[in-house]
């Protein structure tokens, strides 16, 4: 279980630091962050990268950093926090691909990282038998006993 927590901590720290950097770049230069022009946003509701940058910085960046900190300090309910921000990453990537109407290798990589984070968070959740995992395990055990 220690390995699962460590891997999740490293992934969320990596995602968090990257999202802080990317979000900050979009906030400070909303018309061309890291060389990406606003032309990429032609199919989105945004005219520049300011709002996406704020979302990236706060939700994906700060959220994943907070999640990594809760894992570091072994906070009792860290799996819930990890789950929320893992799903946030997956949803962020899906929405980004829809808005940009493009899928590049970084989308695929971060989508997979998000799914791995989701699975690792679920492993911790089931290991600690927290809701709803405790209910699912209890239900499965009752079904097994009836056979």
Q: For 116-138, give the secondary structure using H, E and C.
A: HHHHHHHHHHHHCCCCCHHHHHH
Question: What is the rounded distance in angstroms from the CA atom of residue 118 to the CA atom of residue 90?
Answer: 9
Give the mean model confidence (pLDDT) for residues 48-58: 97
Which of 60, 52, 49 has the alpha carbon at shortest distance from 15? Answer: 60
Give the pLDDT band (50/70/90) at residue 116: very high
pLDDT at 127: 86
Q: What is the dihedral of CA 55, 33, 68, 123, to 10 degrees?
A: 80
Mean pLDDT taken over the chain: 93
pLDDT at 45: 93
Cβ atoms 88, 53 nearer than 8 A: no
Question: What is the rounded distance in angstroms from the CA atom of residue 34 to the CA atom of residue 23?
Answer: 10
pLDDT tens profile 11-32: 999 999 999 999 999 999 999 9
Question: What is the rounded distance in angstroms from the CA atom of residue 49 to the CA atom of residue 41?
Answer: 8
Higher pLDDT, 59 or 128: 59
Residues in contact with 41: Cβ distance below 8 Å, sequence separation at least 6, in sequence order: 47, 48, 49, 99, 100
């Amino acid at each position: 279980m220690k390995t699962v927590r460590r891997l999740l901590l490293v992934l969320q720290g990596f995602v968090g630091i990257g999202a802080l950097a990317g979000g900050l770049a979009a906030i400070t230069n909303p018309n061309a962050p890291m060389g990406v022009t606003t032309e990429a946003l032609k199919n989105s509701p945004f005219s520049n990268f300011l709002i996406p940058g704020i979302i990236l910085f706060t939700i994906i960046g700060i959220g994943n950093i907070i999640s990594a900190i809760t894992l570091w300090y072994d906070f009792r309910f860290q799996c819930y926090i990890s789950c929320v921000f893992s799903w946030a990453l997956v949803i962020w990537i899906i929405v980004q691909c829809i808005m940009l109407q493009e899928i590049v290798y970084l989308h695929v990589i971060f989508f997979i990282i998000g799914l791995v984070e989701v699975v690792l968070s679920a492993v911790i959740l089931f290991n600690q038998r927290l809701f709803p995992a405790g209910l699912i395990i209890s239900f499965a055990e009752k079904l097994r006993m009836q056979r």
